[in-house]
A and B are shown apart, each in its own frame.
Chain A
């Protein structure tokens, strides 16, 4: 199951040139860029692990690409995304967030039903990947 996550999720995979162009667009708008990774694909998982600190004061994407590649080398089977923050509202606002790497094989989710009071049903998702320990998911 191909996880649709963030901007451009329904487009073909971006290659490095296109990623660089998107990052440049963010930097030209004065949005600092940060890199995050996770191996928990649940759509409600908002807070991913940060790769280093956000990259401030850049105006060319080379430095960001170098960090993305370092992150890919360290976590070859994780989801990795790039966030661009717009601080012009006086609070941190995500202006752009897109995946730059996904695991080679994504097993997807199973539907979980829970009985609640008055025989009401509650539904939830359980990612098959979560059956493994963190760090060993996606065949890592």
Chain B
């Protein structure tokens, strides 16, 4: 190594948004090495794709500059197709969350335009993409983070479509000098992708001034300012506590460009989510069961510790339990229809109905309530 390696660590890095040099290989989990792809009128595939060729210094794969009077059709950007696919899947898989979807679309449009501007040689700073997702439990924060990572990767903003999920325990050490290595390790694992900090407000504990969480925040701030790493940090947590967290760390709040709120689901949306989940698991409600489940949701939403889509998933799991028990106790051969149908008795076995005020619902079946205990 020459003696005059730069004073800034890693000063000779490729420009932001460019792949960090060299060949590209198939990466498991990635659909295609999407970093730095140009438009449809692109250079032919380069020969560095073979592993044996990894000593070869690549020619820059950037598409040629456009003249000042040229016109660029945005739909020719092949990354656009991946992005459109991701957005379509986001719409299909996630019920409701209209404002979240709108925000994700805006971010996608911003990055597409940014790429187009680069084609004309218009230099601008890289838009920051650090985000905070605030919302109740089970409102789809992690799911959207996964989709977001795919989209940012398709647009060449990050180098891998991977989300590294951490909580306080993965970042904060137990003793002095333990925190920095832990945080750096988490950052190294998330490098080139998305670092998703779940329950981020736990990092900051104002009541304990000897808490090491502050150190984590300082390291994160440094890393988030860093232009050359293509790391996106997403802070997630419940709205009220995240509010306190950001107000206590103004430096952090100002570096987070996108504050996205995930509202709680309405009853209709939860019902749609339930239908979607049932279909994905290859089950179906018969009409009576759908009505019973709708009633179940009404009762469940009024009870404490309701966790939106997660509660729906748990309720469906227990419906499957009761269905299995019912089918076994039939003591007769079962057909395909039996196996995929959830009946109203499978739903009404829930303990939620047991302590509900008796009204229009039929009394709970005798089978099922056993072993339900305190689980809502």
A14 to B21, CA, bound (A): 12
Checking A8, A16, A62, A76 against B191 with a beta-carbon cut-off of 8 angstroms, the contacting residue is A62
Checking B11, B20, B57 against A24 with a beta-carbon cut-off of 8 angstroms, the contacting residue is B20
**Is A17 engaged at the interface, CB distance under 8 Å to the other chain?**
yes
Contacts of B13 in A (CB 8 A): 16-17, 20
8 A Cβ contacts from A59-110 to B: 59-66, 69-70, 72-73, 76, 80, 99-102, 104
Q: Residue-by-residue, is B227-241 near A (CB-CB < 8 Å gives 1, otherwise 0)?
A: 001010000000000
Contacts of A13 in B (CB 8 A): 1-2
Task: Knowing A16-B10, A62-B188, say if A22 contacts B5 (CB, 8 Å).
Answer: no
Report the stretch among B22-30, B77-85, B367-375 that lies at the interface: B22-30
Closest to B57 in A: A18
**Is A21 engaged at the interface, CB distance under 8 Å to the other chain?**
yes
A67 to B14, CA, bound (A): 18
Checking A11, A21, A60, A64 against B160 with a beta-carbon cut-off of 8 angstroms, the contacting residue is A60
**Is A130 engaged at the interface, CB distance under 8 Å to the other chain?**
no
Q: Residue-by-residue, is A14-53 near B (CB-CB < 8 Å gives 1, otherwise 0)?
A: 1111101110110010000000000000000000000000
Task: Knowing A20-B21, A28-B25, say if A62 contacts B229 (CB, 8 Å).
Answer: yes
A37 to B51, CA, bound (A): 28
Contacts of A58 in B (CB 8 A): 188-189, 191
8 A Cβ contacts from B1-49 to A: 1-3, 5, 9-14, 20-23, 25, 27
**Is A55 engaged at the interface, CB distance under 8 Å to the other chain?**
yes
Task: Knowing A72-B5, A80-B1, say if A16 contacts B12 (CB, 8 Å).
Answer: yes
**Is A57 engaged at the interface, CB distance under 8 Å to the other chain?**
yes
8 A Cβ contacts from B303-357 to A: none
Shortest beta-carbon distance, A70 to chain B, in Å? 8
A21 to B53, CA, bound (A): 12
Let me know if A100 and B10 touch, CB within 8 A.
no
Let me know if A15 and B12 touch, CB within 8 A.
yes
Most chain A C-beta atoms within 10 Å of own C-beta, residue among B55, B160, B162: B55
Task: Knowing A25-B54, A66-B188, A102-B1, say if A17 contacts B20 (CB, 8 Å).
Answer: yes
A70 to B13, CA, bound (A): 16
Shortest beta-carbon distance, B235 to chain A, in Å? 20
Shortest beta-carbon distance, A110 to chain B, in Å? 24
Contacts of A28 in B (CB 8 A): 25, 27
Shortest beta-carbon distance, B81 to chain A, in Å? 25
**Is B187 engaged at the interface, CB distance under 8 Å to the other chain?**
yes
A102 to B10, CA, bound (A): 17
A80 to B5, CA, bound (A): 13
A25 to B184, CA, bound (A): 22
Shortest beta-carbon distance, B50 to chain A, in Å? 11
A80 to B1, CA, bound (A): 9
Task: Knowing A18-B22, A101-B1, say if A63 contacts B191 (CB, 8 Å).
Answer: yes
Let me know if A59 and B27 touch, CB within 8 A.
yes
**Is B192 engaged at the interface, CB distance under 8 Å to the other chain?**
yes
A-B pairs with beta carbons under 8 Å apart, 29 shown? A11-B55, A15-B12, A16-B5, A16-B13, A17-B13, A18-B21, A20-B20, A20-B21, A20-B22, A22-B54, A25-B23, A25-B51, A25-B54, A28-B27, A58-B188, A58-B189, A59-B27, A59-B192, A60-B188, A60-B191, A60-B193, A62-B20, A62-B229, A62-B231, A63-B184, A63-B188, A63-B189, A72-B5, A101-B5
What is B's interface to A at a CB cutoff of 8 Å? 1-3, 5, 9-14, 20-23, 25, 27, 51, 54-55, 57, 159-160, 162, 184-185, 187-189, 191-193, 229, 231
User: Other CB < 8 Å A-B pairs besides A17-B21, A59-B162, A62-B192, 13 of them?
Assistant: A17-B13, A17-B14, A20-B20, A20-B21, A58-B189, A59-B192, A60-B160, A60-B188, A60-B192, A66-B184, A99-B1, A100-B1, A101-B5
